[in-house]
């Protein structure tokens, strides 16, 4: 790309911030589609400059402040461990690699809509609310004609990863397409620039992508909301079955419940697991020990049933044992308009972590900014910005089996 054809990174950032809701009103009843969407898996921009969160997070090799005790048999295609309070990334592998997120994308859905409706308000579900749910989706068991509280719908999202609950809430919000537009805007606010949203449920639509870095951003920001934190740590709930009947639903997070042969991880407080046939298993978790909270994201490990949980637990164990003395390899950035010292509960350590890593004031590359801003920015940039990605062949849609 010639220099004369480039936009400055600051110009692209301005475009990204200026276009968060472009086209949202006109999309309001339509099914979301990926305009000029990337393939199911895409590598970072080949011309990327400084990497969001620190240049070491763009590496294709394991980055760790201390390799002492680091798990040796990790099969995940991408993973990250970070300190929740300071935002320091303690270790990572291909943190910005863009992969299908499966239902971990529901963290962004919740972060976008969780405070939109009073939790005690009631909604009688219609057939239209349930239209367009992909075949094979994970469901909580919502039925047309039955009335649910908003609180119950969110329990269906967090505990059972119910795509039916997601679609009902999306229709209450003005439609799936409107919700997708708002999620894209929210991702930009959180500076989750590896993420491209096609549907609110995380299903394997072509172009639906995120990264270990972005999923960890979603979890960290979501856990600042007491309602988000309460939902993701809830183990069981009674769910309406029609009339006055109910049935019990259980959280599908096996590290929270200690089910299917796994022991519950000590101090776990959520956050979200996911599975589709093409994304494989994805998981973002948070745990607290001795007053310290760590975040971990694991994407696409080996095919063993519990690999995603076992590898997440191993990384958390390392973080609690070695992470306190490990030098940070990067930082989780704050949302647009916030700094480490401004957010609630942040202390000097957070600001020091951002400065020490040299990443707190970095801007992402022009290519990644444009990619994260979606088609609105691409149209605004017109012929002045070429989005260059390495692509892999697209794959057919998968199924949720959480």
CB 45 within 8 A of CB 365: yes
Task: Select which of 78, 103, 199, 365 is catalytic.
Answer: 103
CB 108 within 8 A of CB 216: no
Question: How far is the C-alpha of 135 from the C-alpha of 158, rounded, in Å?
Answer: 20
272 a catalytic residue: no
Cβ neighbours of residue 204 closer than 8 Å, sequence gap 6 or more: 40, 100, 102, 276, 277, 278, 279, 395, 397, 398
CB 272 within 8 A of CB 402: no
Task: Select which of 78, 161, 210, 211 is catalytic.
Answer: 161
46 a catalytic residue: no
Grouping H, G, I as helix, E, B as strand and the rest as coil, residue 392 is coil
Question: How far is the C-alpha of 87 from the C-alpha of 216, rounded, in Å?
Answer: 10
Specify the DSSP class assigned to residue 293. E
Please report where in the chains the tokens 């991408």 appear, as a residue: 78
Cβ neighbours of residue 35 closer than 8 Å, sequence gap 6 or more: 375
Where are the extended beta strands (E) located within 109-191? 122-124, 147-149
> Alpha-carbon torsion 310, 315, 316, 322, what sign?
positive
CB 185 within 8 A of CB 21: yes
Chain-centre distance of CA 387, in angstroms? 23
Tell which residue, 289, 299, 288, has the closest CA to residue 202. Answer: 299
Dihedral of the alpha carbons of 320, 322, 327, 329, in degrees to the nearest 10: -70
* N- to C-terminal Cα separation, the chain: 44
Cβ burial of 328 (10 Å; 0-12, 13-18, 19+) is buried
> Alpha-carbon torsion 321, 257, 238, 146, what sign?
positive
Please report where in the chains the tokens 């997120």 appear, as a residue: 101
106 a catalytic residue: yes
Task: Select which of 78, 106, 137, 365 is catalytic.
Answer: 106
CB 235 within 8 A of CB 211: no
Which residues are part of the catalytic machinery?
103, 106, 161
């Amino acid at each position: 790309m010639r220099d004369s054809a480039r936009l400055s990174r600051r110009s692209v950032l301005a475009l990204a911030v200026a276009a968060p809701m472009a086209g949202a009103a006109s999309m309001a009843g339509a099914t979301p589609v990926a305009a000029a969407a990337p393939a199911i898996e895409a590598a970072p921009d080949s011309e990327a400059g400084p990497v969001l969160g620190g240049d070491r997070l763009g590496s294709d090799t394991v980055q760790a402040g201390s390799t002492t005790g680091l798990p040796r048999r990790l099969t995940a295609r991408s993973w990250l461990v970070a300190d929740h309070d300071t935002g320091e990334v303690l270790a990572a592998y291909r943190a910005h690699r863009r992969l299908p997120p499966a239902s971990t994308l529901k963290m962004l859905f919740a972060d976008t809509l969780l405070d939109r409706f009073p939790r005690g308000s009631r909604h009688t579900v219609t057939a239209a609310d349930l239209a367009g749910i992909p075949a094979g989706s994970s469901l909580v068991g919502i039925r047309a004609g039955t009335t649910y509280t908003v609180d119950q719908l969110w329990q269906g999202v967090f505990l059972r990863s119910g795509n039916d609950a997601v679609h009902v809430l999306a229709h209450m919000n003005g439609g799936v397409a409107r919700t997708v537009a708002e999620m894209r805007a929210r991702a930009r606010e959180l500076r989750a620039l590896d993420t491209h949203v096609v549907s609110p449920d995380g299903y394997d639509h072509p172009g639906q992508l995120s990264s270990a870095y972005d999923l960890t951003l979603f979890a960290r920001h979501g856990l600042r909301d007491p309602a988000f934190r309460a939902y993701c740590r809830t183990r069981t709930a009674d769910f309406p079955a029609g009339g006055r009947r109910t049935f019990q639903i259980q959280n599908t997070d096996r590290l929270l419940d200690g089910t299917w042969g796994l022991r519950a991880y000590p101090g776990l407080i959520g956050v979200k697991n996911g599975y589709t046939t093409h994304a494989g298993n994805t998981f973002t978790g948070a745990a607290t020990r001795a007053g310290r909270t760590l975040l971990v994201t694991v994407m696409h490990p080996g095919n063993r049933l519990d690999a995603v949980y076992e590898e997440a637990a191993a990384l958390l164990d390392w973080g609690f044992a070695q992470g306190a003395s490990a030098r940070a390899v990067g930082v989780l950035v704050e949302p647009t308009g916030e700094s480490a010292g401004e957010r609630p509960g942040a202390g000097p350590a957070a600001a020091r972590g951002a400065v020490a890593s040299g990443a707190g004031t970095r801007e992402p590359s022009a290519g990644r900014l444009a990619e994260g801003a979606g088609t609105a920015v691409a149209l605004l940039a017109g012929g002045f910005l070429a989005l260059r990605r390495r692509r892999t062949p697209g794959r057919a849609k998968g199924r949720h089996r959480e």
